[in-house]
Amino acid sequence: MDIQTLTFIVVGLTFALYIGIAIWARAGSTNDFYVAGGGVPPVANGMATAADWMSAASFISMAGLISMLGYDGSVYLMGWTGGYVLLALCLAPYLRKFGKFTVPDFIGDRYYSQTARTVAVICAILVSFTYIAGQMRGVGVVFSRFLEVDITAGVLIGMAMVYFYTLLGGMKGITYTQVAQYCVLAFAYTVPAVFITMQMTGHFLPQTGFGATLADGSGQYLLERLDGLSTELGFAPYTEGTKSGLDVFAITMALMVGTAGLPHVIIRFFTVPKVRDARRSGGWALVFIAVVYTTAPAIASITKVNILNTLNGPDQQGVLYEDAPSWVTNWERTGLITWDDHNEDGRMFYSNDERNEMHVDADIIVLASPEIASLPNWVVALVAAGGVAAALSTSAGLLLVISSSVSHDLLKRTLMPNISDRQELFYARVAAGVAVVIGAYFGINPPGFVAQVVAFAFGLAAASFFPAIILGIFHKRMNSTGAIAGMVVGIIFTLSYIIYFRFINPAADTPENWWFGISPEGIGTVGMLLNFIVALTVLKFTKEAPKEIQDLVESIRYPKGAGAATGH
């Protein structure tokens, strides 16, 4: 059976599963819609959290960036993993003890200010829209290749799908759908990794194959071969970095603290019955995340070797275009691989110097890896289903954040306090519809690779939410004036920096022009520091938080049990 037919079958079956779960778990109240009734078991919530957090950036683009950037790409692996540990251990239990539906709800009540709540809503919407653009882009990439439609049509298909089960099930439907999506994406990620690792090194586990010798009898290590090929073709040595140490630190830190400030991940800890369950679900999520994250470096390095050998031939002199494997022409149709025959010799050549005739998009590395390794068609179809599952699972969580921020925090808690639960649920679904259309637009016109777009969202979360949450939990005297000033300065500075270098003056987007040599992906770290500095400085010149708020902060520092999450 051909790849397209198999992909239709496999993706269609997973779609039917997701829709069936959404219908079974349909939300009947705002409590179901926002926090799944607060009754999700820790293991299931850990699996759903892992799926929510491991977006299209993790599934599609992270290994691609590691493959293309080598050592420099490890910042994504380190930042995202470290950030989840920080969130699970240092923030989640305290936020769960506070017992509110959303991050803006926490900020609004902790800082006793509707203005603080409104600023947090704006920040949540900005972060979520930036993040969802990367997910929609991921869906478009998958569909454009495997369903043979253009990226725009692929984004629209994904948009309709995710809106349907978010609209129907809310957090209750999303949670159990994400459990299924985690199973799909983890299986789809590890199966081809096992195949290609065995082909290249003879090892069954990708985690051990990554550091093993090649199976061709040369006795050469995988990374040693990759370093040699890279330098021969004008690329930097794969195991050596080219970024400055400061930029590596800034990107890693932005991704780490950005993870701890992501509203769609934080809200997952409100879906369990007790604080102890929040800790347990965080631990389970780390286990489930590790399955994919420890596999990514092996996929990245092995696929890079396969690409360099496939496009340049075993003698690294180029391959005749008519002799190119089918995966090259298949991905050419999507525009994610291009060939320009400069010297008109009919041979493809892929390098990082004047000889180069190829452009290979980093977002295809994982999706194309089974085809590049000539694996069976069913494995290719499985990877397509996994990529879609990763993108849709995170998109659903983000849509819920946007809809709850608008309907609950902005309307119910600020502008229209007298609306009923039914009206609030209606506005939540309308907001999700508007959000998915805007997200789809940015998915069709993205400002970078999937992982790069997502990195911007993490930077915005780091610069806005993280300081406000940390100070709200661990600095009981922090007042509303300081928190608001910090969030406003952090988000405006970070957003302005990203917009300038990526939209206004992209020609200047080089290390020589960056502030302190820090890239747009890492600037959220500077925004975070500015947020802390401004907030603490303003606190020194204004009245500290009222005593009742300080007593509240003291109480949430000791998370020994908590009641049901409430929006009131």
Q: Please give, one letter per residue, the 3-state secondary structure of 74-100.
A: HHHHHHHHHHHHHHHHHHHHHHHHHCE
Residue 56 · residue 132 · CB < 8 Å: no
Instruction: State phi, psi for 384 to the nearest 5 degrees.
Output: -60, -45
For residues 274, 279, 281, 287, the Cα torsion angle rounded to the nearest 10 degrees is -170
Rounded-to-integer distance, Cα 390 and Cα 55, Å: 5
Q: Which helix (H) or strand (E) is 271 found in, with range?
A: none
Residue 18 · residue 179 · CB < 8 Å: no
Q: Name the stretches of the chain with pLDDT < 70.
A: 22, 25-39, 55-57, 99-102, 146-147, 165-173, 261, 263-264, 275, 392-394, 397, 446-452, 558-568
The number of angstroms, rounded, from the C-alpha of 317 to the middle of its chain's C-alpha atoms is: 38
The number of angstroms, rounded, from the C-alpha of 73 to the middle of its chain's C-alpha atoms is: 15
Rounded-to-integer distance, Cα 369 and Cα 36, Å: 37
Rounded-to-integer distance, Cα 508 and Cα 514, Å: 8
Q: What is the pLDDT of residue 111?
A: 94
Q: What is the pLDDT of residue 274?
A: 74
Residue 431 · residue 438 · CB < 8 Å: no
Give Cα separations from 200 to 167, 217, 311, 404 (angstroms): 45, 11, 17, 48
DSSP string, 478-545: --HHHHHHHHHHHHHHHHHHHHIIIII-GGG-STTTSGGG--TTTHHHHHHHHHHHHHHHHHHTSPPP
Rounded-to-integer distance, Cα 39 and Cα 42, Å: 9
Rounded-to-integer distance, Cα 440 and Cα 54, Å: 19
Rounded-to-integer distance, Cα 244 and Cα 259, Å: 23
Exposure string (b/e) for 345-357, b if CB count within 10 Å is 16 or more? Answer: eebbbbbeeeeeb
Q: Which amino acid is at 395?
A: S
Rounded-to-integer distance, Cα 146 and Cα 113, Å: 49
Q: How many CB atoms lie within 10 A of CB 535?
A: 25
pTM of the shown model: 0.78
Q: Which residues make Cβ contacts (< 8 Å) with residue 121, sequence separation at least 6?
A: 104, 405, 406, 409, 410
Token representation of residue 356: 């180069």
Q: How many CB atoms lie within 10 A of CB 160?
A: 11
For residues 561, 43, 403, 186, the Cα torsion angle rounded to the nearest 10 degrees is 150
How is the chain split among helix, strand and coil, in percent rounded to 5? Answer: 75, 0, 25
Instruction: Judge residue 418's burial from the number of C-beta atoms within 10 Å of its C-beta, 0-12 exposed, 13-18 middle, 19 or more buried.
Output: exposed
Among 137, 188, 132, residue whose Cα is nearest residue 384: 188
Q: What is the pLDDT of residue 565?
A: 47
Q: What is the pLDDT of residue 451?
A: 58
Q: Please give, one letter per residue, the 3-state secondary structure of 425-471.
A: HHHHHHHHHHHHHHHHHHHHCCCCCHHHHHHHHHHHHHHHHHHHHHH
Q: Which amino acid is at 428?
A: A
Domains, in order of start, for the chain:
3-303+374-556 (1.20.1730.10)
Q: Which residues make Cβ contacts (< 8 Å) with residue 312, sequence separation at least 6?
A: 233, 318, 319, 348, 349, 350, 351
Instruction: Judge residue 217's burial from the number of C-beta atoms within 10 Å of its C-beta, 0-12 exposed, 13-18 middle, 19 or more buried.
Output: exposed
Q: What is the pLDDT of residue 475?
A: 92
Q: How many CB atoms lie within 10 A of CB 342?
A: 11
Q: Which residues make Cβ contacts (< 8 Å) with residue 311, sequence separation at least 6?
A: 319, 324, 328, 348, 349, 350, 358, 360
